[in-house]
Structure 1
Amino acid sequence: MPHTLDIGFQLHNLSNLMKRRMEHSEVFSHMDDNVTRNNGWILNYLAHHSDRDIYQRDIENDFCIRRSTVSKVIRLMETKGLLRRETVPGDARLKKLLLTPDGEKLQAAIEREQQETERLLRRGVTEEELRIFHQVMEKFKNNIQ
């Protein structure tokens, strides 16, 4: 089978195209080089789950990232002033993650760019194709975990 038909090859290419688009977007071209695309995904995650407490383990699980990696990313985002950790009453070990005002401002700009990328990705794709795509992606993730 030609490597261009490999699932991993196709996912890698799509990821590169999305990365290139974001890096050349209005939002990222005016941002500090220290803010990454992954920071944007985490900011959006926190904003979209603001109705409940979010902890580091939620980021680990939902993003399929190792504990040590998430710990480093969160620490850096905290240093950048994008989020803060707040101790939970009743358990000093738990620290929920909250957006700072700077994080909220940046998140809003990133979300607009991500919505535009999502719109472009979905162009010409039917709801049935999207449903099948999500089913297949879940199978891929389950197979590789």
Structure 2
Amino acid sequence: MVSETRRVGKAIASLGNVIKRHKPLQVEGKFCKTTRMQRWIIGYLYEDGAKRSALQKEIEDAFSITRSTASTILGLMETRGLIRRESAPFDARQKVISLTQDAIDMCDQIAGHIERLEKKMIEGISDEELDVFFDVLQRIEQNLTNDSPDAACTGLAEERNL
């Protein structure tokens, strides 16, 4: 039995809440109604200022979310003027997702805040400790997604975090 003080899921959820409440990540104005997942997707498309496009399938894979979850999230983002969804030139069934100028402007404003938060989170942590941290996170994710009976719950948990 796992000790109440050593519950991995609780620790990860708690850390997620601390990150979510961190002042520099709080967005003002038009974008205050975006969810954390929407901001992560915007950041993924904006990555390093590249302002790139991606297929919806790439976003699903990058965030380990189901097609229906991605479709719901991206639909809301399109309604709010954050992204454009267009048919891929090579296959009309696939959607190419790209940022609108409003979303790019938002990214320009908060990119520095995110960088400062990342630096703050790893203060006093060595590269070796970070390597172990990321290895453990990857193994936890594999444990939860490797054909286990509970793997089906993963998409449901993501949908609740909209």
Q: Would the TM-score normalized by the shorter structure come out above 0.5?
A: yes
Q: Does 1:62 align with 2:62?
A: yes
- Alpha carbons 1:53, 1:97 under 8 Å: kept: yes
Q: Which residue of 2 aligns with 1:35?
A: 34
Correspondences of 1:113-132 after superposition (within 5 Å): 113-132=113-132
In the superposition, relative to structure 1, how do residues 26 and 122 fare at CA in structure 2: closer, same or farther (>3 Å)? closer
- Alpha carbons 2:56, 2:97 under 8 Å: kept: yes
Q: Which residue of 2 aligns with 1:25?
A: 24
Q: 1:39 Cα shift?
A: 1.4
Aligned length: 143
Q: 1:86 Cα shift?
A: 2.0
Deviation sequence 1:14-56 (CA, Å, 0-9, x none):
01101111xx437514444421222111011011285864111
Q: Which residue of 1 aligns with 2:92?
A: 92
Distance (Å, rounded) in 2 between the aligned partners of 1:3 and 1:132: 23
The alignment-based identity, stated in percent, is: 34
Q: 1:109 Cα shift?
A: 2.4
Instruction: Say which is worse superposed, 107-116 or 44-53, in terms of deviation.
Output: 44-53
Distance (Å, rounded) in 2 between the aligned partners of 1:7 and 1:42: 25
Query: For structure 1, which runs of at least 5 residues remain unmatched after alignment?
Result: none
Q: Which amino acid aligns with 2:20?
A: K
- Alpha carbons 2:46, 2:52 under 8 Å: kept: no
Q: Which amino acid aligns with 1:25?
A: P
Runs of 4+ in 1 over 3 A off after TM superposition: 24-27, 29-33, 49-53
Distance (Å, rounded) in 2 between the aligned partners of 1:27 and 1:15: 14
Q: Which residue of 2 aligns with 1:137?
A: 137
- Alpha carbons 1:40, 1:110 under 8 Å: kept: no
In the superposition, relative to structure 1, how do residues 79 and 119 fare at CA in structure 2: closer, same or farther (>3 Å)? same
TM (norm. structure 1) is 0.88
Q: Which residue of 2 aligns with 1:13?
A: 14
TM (norm. structure 2) is 0.79
Distance (Å, rounded) in 1 between the aligned partners of 2:69 and 2:104: 23
Q: Which amino acid aligns with 1:129?
A: E
Secondary structure of the equivalent of 1:25? helix
Q: 1:68 Cα shift?
A: 1.1
Distance (Å, rounded) in 2 between the aligned partners of 1:133 and 1:57: 27
Q: 1:113 Cα shift?
A: 2.1
